């Protein structure tokens, strides 16, 4: 594929469909190296890798909401010393995310210029998108998984031995069933819903996505009128998953993706909630609004062919007291 190839996100006449065909492998406690005949197997075709401090490198981009989840959970659980983290820059071409934030444009641990190199180290003809977050085996410099919902799930359940003593219970047993239902709706209607608006290929597809998105936001606004966080008084994985979309809503989605019925700042309970989370270092420190805007407005050339990044909106409200 040529270097100057411009990816297309909008298919005329069609609704947006996200490709969710990720590398399904997981890193779990008690697993052995892939290929070991004693290793676990569940018949799914995935391979299981062992939890080992220092073995893996989490590759992220602060611009990406899916990678943003992993940054937050790693910090909340105190896994910084056992799972290193490499950061790609905010933009990418059709080939890959790149390490242009590092000196010389090279990740200091992997020695790579492109995340693509880690994928090709394991799958030389890897045919799908090179996505973040990705867990990479440092010893082989090969990708292990990019299945982002399982990455944060396993940070909590499989790396517990290495959590900091006061780490939050992100998957509380007493409300887990309800939380998973809440997260499913957040994913389909909000996390992915903004993309279905932005990448709609017809007016009908856009109208449907728009209606569904704001129905879900209204539901969340009502839910947060009666509770501090989504599941009550304590932070859970559900809050991590919603926050990453809320943080991008006014800077990007409201204009770039045409989700313009309401701004986040006009939804009082969601805005209070988002600011309270932002004040927590694991959340607020993960956000770089400049990188977020640079990514969306420069990469999506079919939506913004000029590549101009808007100067607004005013984001000072994020640091005002709740």
What DSSP line would sit under 155-220, residue for residue? HHHTSGGGS-TT---SS-GGGHHHHHHHHHHIIIIIITHHHHHHT-SSHHHHHHHHHHHHHHHHHH
Rounded percentage of the chain residues whose pLDDT exceeds 90: 87
Q: Average pLDDT of 104-110?
A: 98
- 114 and 200: one domain? no
Sign of CA dihedral 30, 34, 36, 38: positive
CA atoms of 173 and 277, how far apart (whole Å): 22
- Is residue 313 domain-resident? no
User: Which CATH number characterizes residue 210's domain?
Assistant: 1.20.1050.10
CA atoms of 65 and 291, how far apart (whole Å): 11
CA atoms of 175 and 178, how far apart (whole Å): 5
| pLDDT grade for 40, boundaries at 50, 70 and 90 | low
Q: Would you say 190 and 242 are in contact if contact means Cβ atoms under 8 Å apart? A: yes
Q: Which residue has the tokens 């910084």?
A: 80
- Is residue 240 domain-resident? yes
Catalytic residue among 64, 88, 278, 296: 64
Specify binding-site residues for glutathione: 97
So what's the pLDDT on residue 34?
A: 85
So what's the pLDDT on residue 39?
A: 56
Q: How many domains does the chain have?
A: 2
Q: Which residue has the tokens 């045919």?
A: 127
- 58 and 153: one domain? yes
- 43 and 153: one domain? yes
- Is residue 257 domain-resident? yes
Of 170, 221, 222, 212, the closest CA to residue 191 belongs to 212
Q: Would you say 272 and 285 are in contact if contact means Cβ atoms under 8 Å apart? A: no
- Is residue 310 domain-resident? no
- 39 and 158: one domain? yes
Q: Which pTM was predicted? A: 0.94
In angstroms, the first-to-last Cα distance of the chain is: 49
- 154 and 209: one domain? no
Catalytic residue among 48, 112, 119, 195: 195
- 80 and 200: one domain? no
- Is residue 198 domain-resident? yes
- 35 and 158: one domain? yes
Dig out the tokens for 27 from the structure. Answer: 């890193």
Q: Known catalytic residue: 64?
A: yes
Dig out the tokens for 21 from the structure. Answer: 């065909």
pLDDT score of 2 more than 60: no
CA atoms of 143 and 222, how far apart (whole Å): 41
| pLDDT grade for 41, boundaries at 50, 70 and 90 | low
- 107 and 203: one domain? no
pLDDT score of 35 more than 70: no
pLDDT score of 4 more than 50: no
Domain that holds residue 32: 26-162
- 125 and 207: one domain? no
So what's the pLDDT on residue 19?
A: 81
Quote the mean pLDDT of the chain. Answer: 94
| pLDDT tens digits, one per residue of 46-65 | 999 999 999 999 999 999 99
- 157 and 193: one domain? no
SS3 254: helix
Q: Which of 9-23, 258-272, 276-290 has the lowest mean pLDDT?
A: 9-23
What DSSP line would sit under 234-272, residue for residue? S--HHHHHHHHHHHHIIIIIHHHT---S--GGGSHHHHH
- 44 and 119: one domain? yes
User: Which CATH number characterizes residue 45's domain?
Assistant: 3.40.30.10
- 155 and 101: one domain? yes
């Amino acid at each position: 594929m040529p270097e100057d190839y411009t990816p297309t996100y909008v298919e005329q006449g069609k609704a947006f469909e996200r490709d969710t065909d990720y590398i399904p492998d997981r890193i779990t406690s008690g697993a052995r190296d892939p290929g070991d005949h004693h290793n676990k197997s569940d018949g799914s075709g995935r391979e299981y890798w062992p939890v080992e401090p220092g073995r893996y490198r989490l590759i992220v981009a602060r611009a990406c909401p899916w990678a943003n989840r992993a940054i937050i959970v790693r910090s909340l659980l105190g896994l910084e010393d056992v799972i290193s983290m490499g950061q790609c820059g905010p933009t990418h071409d059709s080939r890959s995310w790149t390490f242009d934030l590092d000196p010389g444009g090279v990740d200091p641990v992997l020695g790579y210029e492109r995340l693509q190199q880690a994928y090709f180290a394991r799958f030389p003809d890897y045919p799908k998108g090179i996505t973040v977050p990705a867990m990479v085996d440092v010893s082989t410099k090969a990708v292990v998984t990019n299945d982002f919902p399982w990455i944060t799930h396993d940070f909590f359940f499989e790396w517990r031995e290495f959590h900091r003593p006061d780490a939050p219970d992100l998957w509380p047993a007493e409300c887990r069933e309800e939380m998973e239902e809440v997260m499913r709706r957040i994913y389909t209607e909000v996390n992915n819903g903004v993309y279905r608006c932005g990448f709609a290929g017809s007016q009908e597809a856009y109208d449907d996505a728009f209606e569904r998105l704001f129905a879900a936001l209204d539901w969340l606004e009502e839910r947060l009128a009666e509770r501090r966080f989504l599941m009550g008084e304590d932070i859970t994985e559900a809050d991590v998953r919603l926050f990453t979309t809320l943080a991008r809503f006014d800077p990007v989605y409201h204009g770039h993706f045409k989700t313009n019925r309401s701004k986040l700042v006009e939804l009082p309970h969601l805005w209070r909630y988002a600011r309270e989370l932002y004040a927590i270092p694991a959340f607020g420190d993960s956000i770089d609004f400049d990188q977020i805007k640079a990514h969306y407005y420069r990469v999506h050339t079919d939506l913004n062919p000029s590549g101009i990044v808007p100067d607004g909106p005013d984001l000072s409200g994020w640091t005002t007291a709740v």
